[in-house]
Amino acid sequence: MQQAPLAERLRPKELHDLVGQQHLTGEGGILQKAIASGNIPSMILWGPPGVGKTTIANIIAHTGKATYFQLSAISSGVKEVREVIEQAKQQSKVILFIDEIHRFNKGQQDALLGAVEKGIITLIGATTENPSFEVNSALLSRCQVFVLKALEEKDLLQLLHKAIAEDIILKEKKIEFRETEALIRLSGGDARKLLNLLEIITSPNPSEGGASDSASHIVITDALVLETIQQKMALYDKSGEQHYDIISAFIKSIRGSDPNAALYWLARMIEGGEDVKFIARRLLILASEDIGNANPNALLLANATFEAVNKIGYPESSLILSQCVIYLASSAKSNSSTVAIGNAMAAVKQFGDLSVPLHIRNAPTKLMKNMDYGKGYEYSHSYENNFSAQEYLPEKIKGTTFFEPGKNAREDELRRFLKQLWKEKYNY
């Protein structure tokens, strides 16, 4: 066990030892109740890396005394799935955990359907991707989806202190946390990444002759963390933890209108064997989030790219991705749509479910018409310029501006158009 990585040595065996995810595993949480009752449904655990998906699956299997099989969608296919199902038929209680289930294609997912439906296996799938997009609807309908959250700072700090107090190796060293900001920031809410960083920082430097004195005093500061990580980055890269760092650099390069940097990070992902759908989906989101109405064609091209690369795959799809990346990086940028929906959602949370004004309610029945549903509604096309300056928002928030056009040529047109129509309402 001492040869295992720190993250594996500290993997919780019981639910109460799990750090974070209290909304699911804490007292009264839905997973806590399911485990306590022994009534475990097939489920999809959806969340970012390093938040406990695999750990929860292990705990469920251990607590429920079930036969446990684990497959990775990266290295397993239909053959391995069917072998597990055949073995499961001879068992009374079987849990099949599939890591990165979003990487299974439709045929591989379909191979699970019958066994899940008949209760031959209880499926636990783990994914970092939205299961609505990546898990086919037939299988998804047979599973409950539980959303796991990135760990908060207090959770990460708890994990650090737990590591130096309980780990068989670290507890023999005198480790003091003088500063933790760099560790917390670099971890990105990922427990496994945090523990990998801690292990790197507290491990001896091979150039210094191997094993260090276990009684030595290690004072962890932000400067030490950053310096050590730079020196040992090759070791860090081998763990595969840079996946999300690289996609972050990729997105920020496009947002920053640097096609050359964006192409470099794209090439890094392609060479690393990144899922083509993952890249294309991020481009599709970015086209709306960071470009939006500054260039509506960006969304069209990104959508065409998404469809094309799904049909073609590697290596030819690299050309299509390159074209789209260059176009998006070279496009005018605007996040006005992103800000606008955020403003609108904030209003919904602040004011609750405000009533729909009577004049714009639907009135399909005579009773509703008698109750003045739809009364006074002005049909826009009956007015000059197909426009009537009536109020569409609830009374309590009438006149509220959620959308502020961005400062670019296309949205300047939108600003002028809306200002001309709503001369008194919108002060653009």
Q: What is the pLDDT of residues 285-310, one digit of tens each?
A: 999 999 999 999 999 999 999 999 98
Report whether 171 contacts 164 (CB < 8 A).
yes
Q: Which helix (H) or strand (E) holds 145?
A: strand 144-147
For 398, counting Cβ atoms within 10 Å of its Cβ (0-12 exposed, 13-18 middle, 19+ buried), the class is exposed
pLDDT of residue 237: 43
Q: How far apart are the first and last CA of the chain?
A: 65
Closest CA relative to residue 399, chosen from 390, 408, 407: 390
For residue 77 the two structure tokens come to: 């296919």
State the DSSP code for 99: E
- Confirm whether pTM is higher than 0.75: no
Residue 212 structure tokens: 């260090």
| 243-329 CATH pick, 3.30.70.20, 1.20.272.10, 3.40.50.300, 3.40.190.10 | 1.20.272.10
The neighbouring-strand residues paired with 95 are: 68, 122
Axis crossing angle, helix 317-329 with helix 276-286, rounded to the nearest 10: 20
Across residues 122-135, what is the average pLDDT? 86
Q: Which conformational region is residue 390 in: left (phi greater than 0), alpha (psi within -120 to 50 degrees), or beta? A: beta
Which two tokens mark 204?
């001896």
What confidence category does residue 238 fall into, taking pLDDT thresholds of 50, 70 and 90?
very low
Instruction: For residue range 49-105, list pLDDT tens digits in order.
Output: 888 898 998 888 887 777 888 888 877 778 888 888 888 888 878 889 998 888 887
Give the residue extent of every domain in the chain: 21-147, 153-238, 243-329
Beta-carbon contacts of 267 under 8 Å, excluding residues fewer than 6 positions away, are none
Selection from 133, 88, 147, 91 nearest residue 114 by Cα: 88
Fold category of 21-147 in CATH = Rossmann fold (3.40.50)
For residues 232-271, one letter each, b for 16 or more C-beta atoms within 10 angstroms of the residue's C-beta and e for the rest, the string is beeebeeeebbeeebbebbbebbbeeebebbbebbeebbe
**For the domain with range 153-238, which CATH number is right: 1.10.760.10, 1.20.1250.20, 1.10.8.60, 3.40.1710.10?**
1.10.8.60
The encoded tokens of residue 81 equal 């799935």
User: Do β-strands 122-127 and 43-46 pair in parallel, antiparallel, or remain unpaired?
Assistant: parallel
**Cβ-contact 6, 166 below 8 angstroms:** no
Percent with pLDDT over 70 in the chain: 92
